[in-house]
Amino acid sequence: MSTVEKTTFAELGLPEPLLEAITEIGFEEPSAIQAATIPVALAGHDIVGLSQTGSGKTAAFGLPSLAKVDVDLAVPQLIVLCPTRELAVQVCDEINRLGAKTPKLKTVAIYGGAPITRQIRALNQGAQVIVGTPGRIIDHVERGSLELFDIETVILDEADRMLDMGFQDEMEKLLRALPEDRQTLFFSATMNKQVQRLIHQHSDDPQTIEIERATLTVDSIDQVVYEVRQRSKTEVLSRILDLEQPRLAIIFCNTKKAVDDCTEALLARGYPADRLHGDIAQMLRERVIRLFREGTVEILVATDVAARGIDIDDIDMVINYDLPQDPEDYVHRIGRTGRAGRSGRAVSFVFGRDVYRLQTIERYTRQQITRAPIPSTEEVEGRLASQLIDTVREKLQSKAFEDASADINTLKEEGHSEYDIANALMALLREETGRESEEILEDRPDYEAPSERRPRRERDGDDRGGRDDRKRERRQRDNPTETEEGMTRLFMNLGKAHRARPGDIVGMMHNELGIPRDSLGRITMAPRFSLIEIADEFADTAIEEAKTAKLRGKKFILDRDRASGSGGASVRDDSPPADRPERPDRPDRPPRKKERDENREWRSERGKDRGYKKKKDFKTGGGKKKSYGGDKPNRKKPKGRFPKKG
């Protein structure tokens, strides 16, 4: 781990044009990663730079690389590889800022989703710095519009993300095509075996520069987690935004559908939000990022891949609407806030098995994340009321308002007092600035989060309830016609006989139908059908999306269970015995008894009454039983199953 003393950019050996640009930008002193990296890079060594997101990695590799560019030679000399087009645009803009005082310096960003003819035209005009994604850079190399003979420095920014996104073949192909005497710089917030293997194969004795690795997240970020059910997330999210009121906030979701649903819910509640994911056109994505940077869009809902290129220092809050699968993604997500010495806040929503994923993240980051209670509606209303009073107070103190005495006098002449007029105006302001809260299950006093429930072995005898209560609970658990409150039972015409398993059903509904895992309840498997409990709000969506889905390669029917909630017995053949009506007593049949003799005697007498005769043994003419050998029973030789051919 590298530790560096405080220094200035002038002491690092940078040329004068770069120092002028740094002064104009407003950088006062280099960050830790910049102070440790720039001298080593200027000396020509290969570097592996490890530092948290937002620590100034772009300037750390951009400044020494620009210092080595020959501006009189209008050919590509520096290539920067980025995982996403957004990050490529951000890095290109930052390099343009750093090289603003360097004459004749040209930088081109090339990435997918943009017209390739425009990029070819920019390359033909001559550019020393190329910033782009691996796939599009290889396209230009194969077309002959980009030549790599004069490349002196190659930089892999967010190398771990490029590998995670499946760019390994493209990266290796591109690195093999570059000159062997080049300088290679790897920069990333995390390190894994794939990155280590790539560095070992395509670098020459690199020097590792690691900064602040005691924890992977900075201390200026306040991390907190709320235990929230899926159906309550939108309400809790709204409460947090009302309480914290961040200037800029990013909300991360794991799927594009979740991004769309979350954005629509926020827009319906009046929040200035917009979305960012892979299905959005490049021109619209650039517009959304520009509006977010300007503050017109205050809340950005995005997926991990789409948000990789967001490099904005004024983000106050990051919210993990869905907890990421990979701990590294968590580090990159919350690294969007708390930048450049500012404080930030990272909020995460978990429920059910997400708690185990949260523990993995805590072990990976070596930090304990604070558990917090869900904000109540009273807290939100109090915060909004205080904000309204502060706004009115500031307006009164500034005297920046027009005289409305005539209007007030008109109301007073109608018999209204000044006090009533002020109350009415405050009520109107509250209606305009506030919002109607939604009651959720977590607000109930008797609600107990799953992680707070005591294990069964720790419960006292009194807590377990009586035997009748336990029988009732067992009957409710085993009876598929009884559902939990807020859940709907769906019928699927695939079951055990079709080799379907509960895990297959959960995976299909999450991946293909877009249903959150924690919105699924009990799954009852029968030989030829399955019963699936799902949250009421997702039932119609699941039925509609299932029309084009498949389970284990088979099409299926998913619909509401007709036997659910009817109070009667199910008509399905595979229903558990507990659901079938008892057979009525028959007057001609005696009670069932275990005594075999009495039953045999009753059957014999009953047979005589009905005129049945006792069967006789089949015998041959001589009175001897005919045998076919062995221990086979004495009976007539059976005929063949199929008739003999003529």
CATH class of the domain defined by 221-376: alpha beta
71 has pLDDT over 60: yes
The CATH number of 484-568 is which of 3.90.1170.20, 2.40.110.10, 3.40.718.10, 3.30.70.330? Answer: 3.30.70.330
- Give the model confidence (pLDDT) of 325-341 as tens digits: 878 788 888 888 877 66
Q: What pLDDT was estimated at residue 575?
A: 45
441 has pLDDT over 90: no
Considering the chain, what is the average pLDDT of its residues?
A: 78
Q: What is the spatial order of strands in the sheet that 183-188 belongs to?
A: 107-110, 129-132, 78-81, 153-157, 183-188, 47-50, 207-210
Q: What pLDDT was estimated at residue 625?
A: 46
598 has pLDDT over 70: no
The contacts of residue 102 (CB under 8 Å, 6+ apart) are 17, 18, 21, 66, 69, 71
Q: Which of the pair, 391 or 233, is modelled with greater confidence? A: 233
Task: Please state the rounded mean pLDDT for residues 128-153.
Answer: 92
Residue whose entry in the numeric block shows the structure tokens 């003419």: 621
Q: What is the spatial order of strands in the sheet that 221-227 belongs to?
A: 273-276, 299-302, 249-252, 317-320, 344-350, 221-227, 370-371
Task: Please state the rounded mean pLDDT for residues 108-119.
Answer: 89
Q: What pLDDT was estimated at residue 61?
A: 92
Q: Which of the pair, 401 or 66, is modelled with greater confidence? A: 66
Task: Please state the rounded mean pLDDT for residues 447-469.
Answer: 53
Q: What pLDDT was estimated at residue 347?
A: 94
**CATH number listed for the domain at residues 10-210:** 3.40.50.300
Q: What pLDDT was estimated at residue 618?
A: 42
Domain regions of the chain by residue span:
10-210, 221-376, 484-568
The rounded distance, in Å, linking the Cα atoms of 516 and 474 is 27
Q: Which two tokens stand for residue 248?
A: 């800029």
Residue whose entry in the numeric block shows the structure tokens 């991946």: 511
Q: What pLDDT was estimated at residue 564?
A: 57
Q: What pLDDT was estimated at residue 170?
A: 87
Q: Give the 3-state DSSP-derived string for 117-155, with helices as H, strands as E and coil as C.
A: HHHHHHHHCCCCEEEECHHHHHHHHHHCCCCCCCCCEEE
Direct distance between the N- and C-terminal alpha carbons of the chain, in angstroms, rounded to an integer: 95
256 has pLDDT over 80: yes
Q: What pLDDT was estimated at residue 19?
A: 92
Fold agreement (10-210, 221-376): yes
600 has pLDDT over 80: no
The alpha carbon of residue 391 and the mean position of all alpha carbons in its chain are separated, in whole angstroms, by: 37
Q: What pLDDT was estimated at residue 551?
A: 84
Cβ burial, residue 226 (10 Å; 0-12/13-18/19+): buried
The pLDDT-based confidence of 606 (bands split at 50, 70, 90) is: low
The contacts of residue 328 (CB under 8 Å, 6+ apart) are 160, 164, 189, 190, 192, 364
Q: What pLDDT was estimated at residue 518?
A: 73
Q: What pLDDT was estimated at residue 357?
A: 87
Q: What pLDDT was estimated at residue 473?
A: 45
